[in-house]
Amino acid sequence: SCGICVEKCPFDAIEIINLPQELQDDPAHRYGENAFSLYGLPAPQEGQVTGILGPNGIGKTTAVRILAGELEPNLGRHEESPGWDEVLEAYRGTELQDYIADVRDGEVTVARKPQYVDQIPEQFDGNTRELLERTNERDALDDLVERLSIGPVMEQSIDDLSGGELQRVALAATLARDTDFYFLDEITPYLDIGQRVTAARLIRELAEEENRSMLVVEHDLAILDLLADTLHVAYGEPGAYGVITAPKSVRNGINEYLSGYLENENMRIRPDPIEFEEHAPRTATHGDVLVEYPDLRKSYGDGEFTLDVEGGEIRENEVLGIVGPNGIGKSTFAKLLTGDLEPTTGDADLDLEISYKPQYVTIDQHMRVDAFLSSITDQFGSSYWNTEIAQPLQLERIMEQNLSDLSGGERQRVAIAACLSDSADLYLLDEPSAHLDVEQRVQATSAIRRYAEQQDATVMVIDHDIYTIDLLADRLMVFDGEPAVNGRASAPQPMRDGMNEFLANLEVTFRRDERTSRPRINKPESQLDREQKREGEYYYAP
Ligand code: ADP
Ligand code: ADP
- Ligand 2 centroid – CA 345 distance (Å): 17
Nearest listed ligand to the Cα of residue 300? 2
Atom in ligand 2 nearest the alpha carbon of residue 332: 6
DSSP annotation of 152 = G
Would the CB of 489 count as within 6 Å of ligand 2?
A: no
88 CB-contact burial (10 Å; exposed 0-12 / middle 13-18 / buried 19+): middle
**pLDDT for residue 142:** 96
Atom in ligand 1 nearest the alpha carbon of residue 234: 3
Confidence of residue 14 (pLDDT cuts 50, 70, 90): very low
pLDDT in tens, 204-258: 999 999 999 999 999 999 999 999 999 999 999 888 899 999 999 999 999 999 9
**pLDDT for residue 180:** 93
How far is the C-alpha of 186 from the C-alpha of 220, rounded, in Å? 9
**Best of 11, 29, 31 to mutate for ligand 1, by most ligand atoms within 8 A of CB?**
31
How far is the C-alpha of 23 from the C-alpha of 20, rounded, in Å? 6
Residue nearest to atom 5 of ligand 2 (CA): 329
Residue 266 has φ and ψ, to the nearest 5°, of 50, 55
DSSP line for 300-349: ETTTTEEEEE--EEEETT-EEEEE--TTSSHHHHHHHHHTSS--SBS---
pLDDT in tens, 105-159: 999 999 999 888 888 888 899 999 999 999 999 999 999 999 999 999 999 999 9
CA atoms within 13 A on the CB side of 70: 10
How far is the C-alpha of 205 from the C-alpha of 188, rounded, in Å? 17
Would the CB of 516 count as within 6 Å of ligand 2?
A: no
**Best of 192, 331, 357 to mutate for ligand 2, by most ligand atoms within 8 A of CB?**
331
ipTM, 2 decimals?
Answer: 0.90
Confidence of residue 8 (pLDDT cuts 50, 70, 90): very low
pLDDT average, residue stretch 304-325:
94
- Ligand 1 centroid – CA 239 distance (Å): 7
**pLDDT for residue 439:** 86
- Ligand 2 centroid – CA 328 distance (Å): 7
- Ligand 2 centroid – CA 312 distance (Å): 22
How far is the C-alpha of 81 from the C-alpha of 104, rounded, in Å? 14
pLDDT at 1 over 50: no
How far is the C-alpha of 191 from the C-alpha of 196, rounded, in Å? 6
Residues composing the chain: 542
pTM for the structure as a whole? 0.89
pLDDT in tens, 60-111: 889 989 998 999 999 999 899 899 999 999 999 998 999 999 999 999 999 9
Residue nearest to atom 4 of ligand 1 (CA): 57
Atom in ligand 2 nearest the alpha carbon of residue 324: 3
